[in-house]
Each structure stands twice: as structure tokens, then as C-alpha cells.
Amino acid sequence: MAQPGRIRLAGMIAATALCAAAATEAAAQDGAIVLNQQLQLGDVFAGQTLNVVDSQDQVTVQTSAQGNSASGAVENGSITVQSDQDMRGDAVATTDITLGGDTWGEVNTTTQAGGNYLAVSAYAATLTLNATQSNTGGLVSATAEIGDDTARLHAGASVGVSAISNTVALYGEGSVVSGSIDQSSSAVVRSFGRIESQYIPAGASVTSQTIVNAVAVNSGQTSGQELSVVQRSTGDFIESEASANAGNAWDLAARARATANQAVLYNEGGSVVTASDQQNSSFVRASALTTAYDYGRAEAYARGAANELSVGNNDIYVEIDNTQFNSGGVNVTATFSGANGYDVSVGADAVGNSVTGYACSECAGYLEARNAQTNSGDVSAVANTTVAGSNRSVISGANAVGNSANFHVSRPGN
């Protein structure tokens, strides 16, 4: 059990270390102050190349390139975090694996590239955060290419690729989380993942994710939130591509998601008050491609969004003040091509501005929302399906929306 006023801090710092002003236990109980300043001027690269033939066991590879990163936590006390992270170089992570012959173990690869990252947790505490993240570097890129035309992946494969320019992640248990988050990025952000194989008699998937500015807040056990979020994306383009290919596959999927600004906030046991301002002028593109000559189940799904906000509370009170402006285009394509098989699923979703707010109906929930959305960019979603031989079913959908707003009161878990 944590002692009163105990504060734990940990960080992986590219420039200036976290500093905690908590000289005595009494001072910690009154409130600690954490000052974090990080400046990354140079480029950050991470890369791996493997050539594996007839592997008898698993192939697991992790590759990560991160500009600035800091994390901290507070237990049974209060803390004020003032964080300023500035990324001015490129962040590039690459994974290249050639798999020849028979690979009998599962193939798992994770490739991640990031500009600025901040994570803070609070346990039975009060957390006040003032965070600024800026990325003026040229590129945030994550790439993974797995297999070859003769690869036989008997236990399947999971390929995950993620590129995020700015990230703030907050977590609370029995805590109050408040403050402001300001994120801006002018970098090009892209992710690309691909599987090439001859035979996959198991599940295999490629998941590619690209986000420019990301905020995730999750609090429970009688917590509360009061946060202001400002996000700006001004880079030339944002791109996410996933490609899954096999001659014969049992369960094959390619999934790609590209988002300029994203904020997801969820709470239990208290009130949620959120003010959000999201603006995007970047071109957003998401593409998913799945090909197989013979297949059992095949999926291609892509989603692209300029601005996304989701605020939910499994309790009584939710207040949302939302402003979203998008002038960048959003282009989404999902494609499947095959000959003979069973079930095919193809989906493409594109949205300019999206906001969702919800509260708990069993708690006699109350939701108050003020919403202003403006979209001047083109939004397109295209789903392509080609079956040259015969199959059992095809489920296909394409949805494009300029502005989407959904506010509702629902039962927990719905």
C-alpha cells in the first residue's frame, strides 16, 4: 500500500530530465511540482534487417525510434506537471525481414516511430497537467516489410506498424485529472506495413496506424476530468498503408488507419468537462490492400479522419465544448483481389470532423454539448473487390462523411 504523499517518477529523456520539487513528505502532501523541458534537434533512427530461412520457432522483432519521451506517476498526493517537448528532427523506424522456406513459429513484429511522448498516472491523487508538444521535424515514419514470395508461415503472423507525431496519455484511479494539452505538428507522418508469402495456414494480419496528434485519457474508480485540448496538424500529408499478400491464406487481413487529430477521453465515477479545439490542413490518406489466390477469410479495412473527439462518462455529468476545422483532403481506399475462397470483407470509412459524447443512462446521466464543425476539404471512401473465381460471400461498404456529431446517453457497456 502506498504511503501518504508518495510520488514515483520515471522517464526516458532525450534532452532535459524530469525534476520533482518534493523535498519533504509534508511538501509532497501539499503538492509536488514536476518541470520537464525536452529539446531534440537531431534525427532519431532505428532499423533492423533479418534474413531467416526455415525457422523452427517464433520470429519476434521490435523496432522503435522516439524523439522525446517522459513518464511519471503520483500516489496518494497531488502533483502539478509542467511539460514542454520540442522535436525538430526526423524519427524513423524500419524493419525488414526476409523469411525463406518454412517458418514454423508465429511471426510477430512491432515497428514504432514517434516525435514527442508524455504519460502520467495518478492513484488516489490530484493531477494538474500543463503540457505543450511541438514537432517541426520533417518526418515521422514507421515501415515494416515481412516475408517474400516463397515464405511459408505455418503459425501465422502479426505485423504492427505505428507512427505518431505527438502523444499524451493520462491514467487515473480515484483521482482528479485537470489541466491543458497543446499539440502542434508540421511533420509528414506515415506508416507502412506489408506481408508477402506463398502459404499461411493460420491467421495473419497487418495493422498500420498513423496519428499526428493523439490524446488518450482513461480514469476510473470514482475519478473526474476537467481538460482543455488544442491540436494543430499542418504537415503536407499523413499516410497509412497496410498490405497483406499470400498465394494461399486461411485468414488474412490488412487494416490501415490515418488520423490528423485524435482525442479519446473516458471516465467512471465523477464528472467530465472537456474543451477541445482541433484544426487540420494536412492531406490524410489511408489504404488497405489484401490479395490472395486461394483464401478462407480475407479482410481489407481502411479508415481516415481529419479530426476526431470522443468523450464518455460512465456516470452522471458530461460537458463538451468542441470546435473542429478541416481544410485538408481525406482519401480512403480498401481493396481486395483474389481468385477462389470463402468469405471477403472490404470496408472504407472517411470523415472530415467527428465528435462523440455519451453519459450513463442508469445514473440519470446529463450531457451538455456545444459543437461547431467546419469542413472544406474533399472526403472520399472507395472499396474495391475483385473475385476472379468463386467464393461464398462478399461484404463491402464505403462511407464518406464531412461532419459527424453523435451525442447520447447509454447504459454502461453499450
Write the pLDDT tens digit of every residue in 120-178: 999 999 999 999 999 999 999 999 999 999 999 999 999 999 999 999 999 999 999 99
- pLDDT attached to residue 62: 98
The structure's pTM equals 0.91
**In the predicted model, what is the mean pLDDT of residues 68-96?**
96
Task: Centre a 10 Å sphere on the Cβ of residue 120 and count the other Cβ atoms it contains.
Answer: 25
**What pLDDT sits at residue 143?**
98
pLDDT of residue 362 exceeding 80, the answer is no
Contact 89, 74 (CB under 8 A): no
Cell of 359: 453519459
d(CA 286, CA 354): 17
Residues 359, 409: Cα–Cα separation, whole Å? 5
Q: Collapse the DSSP code of 116 into the 3-class scheme (helix H, G, I; strand E, B; otherwise coil) and give the result.
A: strand
> Can you spell out the DSSP letters for 55-73?
-SS-EEEEEEEEEEEEEEE
Average pLDDT for the chain: 91
Parallel, antiparallel or unpaired: strands 44-53 and 379-387: unpaired
Q: What number is the average pLDDT over the span 372-385?
A: 98
Task: Using pLDDT thresholds of 50, 70 and 90, give the confidence band for residue 11.
Answer: very low
Give Cα 194 distance to the centre of its chain: 19
Cα Dmax for the chain = 75
pLDDT computed for residue 314 by the predictor: 87
State the DSSP code for 175: -
Q: Which of 21-35, 211-225, 348-362, 382-396 has the lowest mean pLDDT?
A: 21-35
Nearest to 328, CA basis, from 353, 354, 303:
353
